[in-house]
Copies of this chain bind each other. A is one copy, B any other.
Amino acid sequence: MGTTAWEGRMSAYYGQELHGPFEMFDLGDFVLEDGGTIRGAKLAFATHGRLSAARDNAILIPTWYSGTSKIMEQTLVGPGRALDPERYFIIIANQIGSGLSSSPHNTEGAFHGPDFPSVRIGDDVVAQYRLVTEKFGLEALQLVVGASMGAQQTYEWAVRYPDFVRRAAPIAGTAKNKPHCRLIGQSFIDALTSDPAFNDGHYRNSGDVRAGLIRHARAFALTGLCQEFYRLELWRDLGFSSLDDFFVGFLNAYFLPMDPNNLILMARKWQRGDVSRHANGDLAAALGRIRARTTVLALSSDMFFPPADCEEEAKLTPGAAFRVIDTRFGHAGLFALEPTYVPQVDAALKDLLAAP
């Protein structure tokens, strides 16, 4: 299938205009861990900077739930920042189901929408490994850094390819998803599937699932931010005049253009993130394989991945450092909307990159 046909299947939201520039890597018929196959699978990626002749300056960033390479760039990459394109070759890989890579909404035929096969975090990492080895001929990554579901992929990288990953920085995410976090993912899924217009995923247009998408945005509002954010009315700092103004102008605006089946695919992947399956369910043994120099970063007010959950895994990761980023935005601190966020994350990543 040609790029034109592919582009034609993209909705305006998931296109180059809002999320580009990005390129496509062809994975062919991609067999998944749970047994399914994505036929003609594609991985959307963006790059920043130039690969050195020695191919020794590459950094990989996987994406988080509902995010694309664009928000990863905006929150993590820039001249003078830790991830400086003047110095590093930065590859941002959009996860399967993100809407840019192969996803329920852009797959035609029998595997469209809710019939898209089941995907796990490991599938993303295998696809990304093929991208960086086959497309760029890499033999190592100086750093894998990702937040939230990107942290899940970061852990998966470090456990699955221990000799390939020199440094790892999972931010606000875990190697094995915790039961309460699974309930949060379920609250997102239930918000969408409980809308009668969802129709078991066989809706005609994603906009028909408006009530479900708004409930999904409210579910994010409940656990994706934090008590302090609301008590101090920090939405005012973002230019909103009331809580409803924030809900509609920020959360609805962000989530309403998205495809429910895409979101559900990602949420299920998130719920089942677990590197311990590489060691027969033994999380300590799985994390014990990591050779990357690792800095585990947690967000102080995160309800998705509380610092205690992150620290527990840092202790199981050989030689890992653990740092807490102070934020009053809960998990949504990752959006870098507080001026205090970037200096903290950059300081941690600069330290990590400066280490041998």
Contacts and interface: CB of A to CB of B under 8 A. Distances in A.
Q: Which 8 A-B pairs have the closest CB atoms?
A: A179-B230, A180-B227, A180-B230, A183-B222, A178-B231, A194-B194, A187-B222, A227-B306
A324 to B, nearest CB: 16
A190 B217 CA distance: 12
A211 interface: yes
Number of copies: 2
Given A181-B227, A183-B218, 15 more contacts: A179-B230, A179-B233, A180-B222, A180-B226, A180-B227, A183-B221, A183-B230, A184-B222, A186-B218, A187-B218, A194-B215, A222-B222, A227-B306, A227-B309, A303-B303
26 contacts: A178-B227, A178-B230, A179-B230, A179-B231, A179-B243, A180-B225, A180-B226, A180-B230, A181-B227, A183-B218, A183-B221, A183-B222, A186-B218, A187-B187, A187-B219, A190-B215, A190-B218, A194-B194, A196-B196, A222-B223, A223-B223, A227-B308, A227-B309, A228-B308, A231-B309, A303-B303
Most buried by B among A178, A187, A218, A306: A187
A326 interface: no
A195 interface: yes
A180 B228 CA distance: 8
Interface residues of A, number: 32
Chain A binding site: helix, strand, loop or mixed by DSSP? helix
Interface in A194-235: 194-196, 211, 215, 218-219, 221-223, 225-231, 233
A178 B187 CA distance: 22
Contacts of A190: 215, 218
A211 B226 contact: no
Contacts of A222: 180, 183-184, 187, 222-223
A76 B180 CA distance: 29
